[in-house]
A and B are shown apart, each in its own frame.
Chain A
Amino acid sequence: MASEPMAAATRPKRPIRWHIAVFLAPAVLVYTAFMILPLAGTLQLSLFRNVEQHQVFVGLGNFRTLFGDPNWSVNFWNALRNNVWFFIIHMLVQNPIGILLAALLSSPRLRFAAFYRTAIFVPTILSFVIVGFAWKLILSPLWGVAPHLMDLVGLKSLFTPWLGKEEYALTALSLVSVWQFVGIPMMLIYAALLSIPDEVIEAAECDGITGLSQFWKIKLPLILPSIGIISILTFVGNFNAFDLIYTAQGALAGPNYSTDILGTFLYRAFFGFQLQVGDPNMGAAIATIMFLIILAGVCVYLFLVQTRLRRYQF
């Protein structure tokens, strides 16, 4: 230790190491004020109920209502089911496409790679409001380009007002969200692919592993940790999702609650909607359940998946 001689010289009066606290303070303070306190506040709020304008402690009463009262539980399970479907579509469509795009982009023979990379990533930085509105217009049966384009290739009969049909609306919106966010897995995988050292690839080529089998046998195992990270990011993002549904379908998440996910359900409960008066306590209870779902998902990943992923040091 460099400070050993000095510390020895001034042993009787050991200086308080202020710098540690000072350097930690900004992060700790900001994180506490904006993340930990609100979270604790939400958890606390979920244990109370407003009775005659007073907050009364009810223990787990709000959760009992949420799961026991069919007026709440039916909506909750519906929202959770929709949210799971939203997540499944992202896992099955967004991430494989992201990996595919990254693999194509990292191919040395591809021209204009930088252009494609930027173009595919741009929707990610667009506001939800723009994306929701633009897709509402594209898919509009009245003025949208979708029915017209499908007409040009003779597929007009396949067009239906997707966003207005119970059976398609959620899937359609999930795919819009996939369109918007496919750039993120693409970028992360692309970076992971680039970081694979050339020696490994060359060694594989010496052993006669090229083309597709090189991707499956050499590259994919090396980018698995990144895929794991992407999965967990998708999971957290999807179970926190709200904006796209709200901008495209409104807070009632129509038709017939078929696009209602936990975020919109929470919004209606917490802030109310039209004549429905907001109930912050029930809202906080839903938020707490969302927090627990996400926490459980992250824990499963951290303790069951990540520990089993093999990492390679180069």
Chain B
Amino acid sequence: MTTKLLTALLIGTSILGTTGMALADDVTLNIESWRGDDLSIWKDKLIPAFEAKNPGIKVVFAPSAPTEYDAALGAKLAAGSAGDLITCRPFDKSLELFKKGNLADISSLSGMENFSPVAKAAWQTDDGKSSFCVPMASVIHGFIYNKDAFDKLGLKVPTTRDEFFAVLDKIKADGTYIPMAMGTKDLWEAATMGYQNIGPNYWKGEDGRAALIKGEQKLTDKDWVAPYEELAKWKPYLGDGFEAQTYPDSQNLFTLGRAAIYPAGSWEIGLFNTQAQFKMGAFPPPVEKAGDTCYISDHTDIGMGLNAASKHSEEAKKFLSWVASPDFATIYANALPGFFSLNSSPVKMEDPLAQEFVSWRGKCKSTIRSTYQILSRGTPNLENETWVESANVINGTDTPEAAAKKLQTGLDSWYKPAK
């Protein structure tokens, strides 16, 4: 009897105690993210800027490792212990969370009007009716080069493919530098920095991508095999033992000044600026003939959504509206050069390399990675297979035609385009 009374008392006090605390304390919002690299930017720049304007709301940025993020987030959401704000991967990963009811519908959130339909497409239902994440940033593919090396060898920045290979030949003949820093060990470099980087020029960006989704084009078509043919030609220009060269190896090779050209994503800018001791420049993927329309991969990569089970959804929505504002875009794009804001209002950036990348938006047509929307929903997974096959093509263990055929056969086995 006494124990029961005691328990009741204890429970009573604990409830009273916590409510008391909640009243006295600020609301704390937790952000789930895979961007551990950005911890200091959130802590020192973004969160203080928000908290200064919104007293009473505290924000905690709690990232986990990129490779574990999706599994960890899934487990936390299932257990109900996930944070209030969830950093969104583009397309199906987030769409699945929305369909499961883990992400709230934020179509009517104030601030969403700041984004173009293309920017929002990565976090919408297939019919485009509901949005569930605020677009934060995109990354642009291209090539970063060592300006000092180019000056020393008297090289001109290539704009066409012939010039590109001529430059590579010259660097190789000189022998001081490894022409191109890329490895195939981690597979994704070959696909993301290789195939998805140079591909849009062949398949004409959005046109080709949309045609592929509609089923009007096949991966075995000339426009989709040709990038593989070019990749196969890269092999002699890569460093010794590139088959076992990992992504950090490639980054180090370039920033140590041992390689001249780095097939890049703009997310490298921040790291390269702090590590490289030489001047850097960038050029978009070369086109076939001078004057051809150029296409770049301007991939919507990161967004932020609201955990549907959040206890503080009002405060979280306030935060998301702020994420959608030009204020956030300015701080974010400058703190993280290479992650370009998707906000319609232009953002002024200080970093010259980032400016170079973003200037391509003006002269080239933007597209996103071909495998991301819809086409990677089934088994075998087209994106994963593209990684494997791109590496195979560069390693020379598969011909471009064989690789394309494998991908198309895999896709055909589950994907039936709507007629």
Measuring CB to CB, which residues of chain A are less than 8 angstroms from any residue of chain B?
53, 70-72, 136, 139-143, 147, 160-166, 249-252, 254-257, 268, 271-279
Contact = CB atoms under 8 A, between A and B. Distances in A.
B92 to A, nearest CB: 6
Tell me if A's interface is mostly helix, strand, loop or mixed: loop
Nearest to A52: B99
Contacts of B100: 53
Contacts of A273: 381, 384
Contacts of B245: 140-142, 161, 164
Contact of A275 (B71, B91, B252): B91
Contacts of A250: 186-187
Interface stretch (B204-212, B268-276, B391-399): B391-399
Interface stretch (B139-147, B235-243, B337-345): B235-243
Contact of B381 (A140, A166, A255, A275): A275
B170 interface: no
B184 A274 contact: no
Contacts, number: 119
Nearest to A249: B185
Given A161-B185, A277-B96, 5 more contacts: A136-B246, A142-B241, A147-B241, A165-B244, A254-B186
Contacts of A147: 241
Contacts of B71: 271-272, 278
A185 B286 CA distance: 58
B99 A53 contact: yes
A278 B74 contact: yes
B376 A161 contact: no
6 contacts: A141-B244, A252-B388, A254-B186, A255-B392, A274-B383, A276-B379
A254 B240 contact: no
A256 B93 contact: no
A249 B387 CA distance: 13
A267 B238 CA distance: 32
A83 to B, nearest CB: 19
Contacts of B249: 140, 142-143
Given A139-B244, A256-B388, A251 B383 contact: no
Contacts of B74: 278
B384 A276 contact: yes
A230 B376 CA distance: 43
Interface string B213-251: 000000000000000000000000001111111100100
Which 10 pairs across A and B sit closest by C-beta, in order of nearness? A141-B241, A164-B243, A161-B244, A164-B244, A161-B241, A276-B381, A275-B376, A275-B383, A271-B71, A161-B243
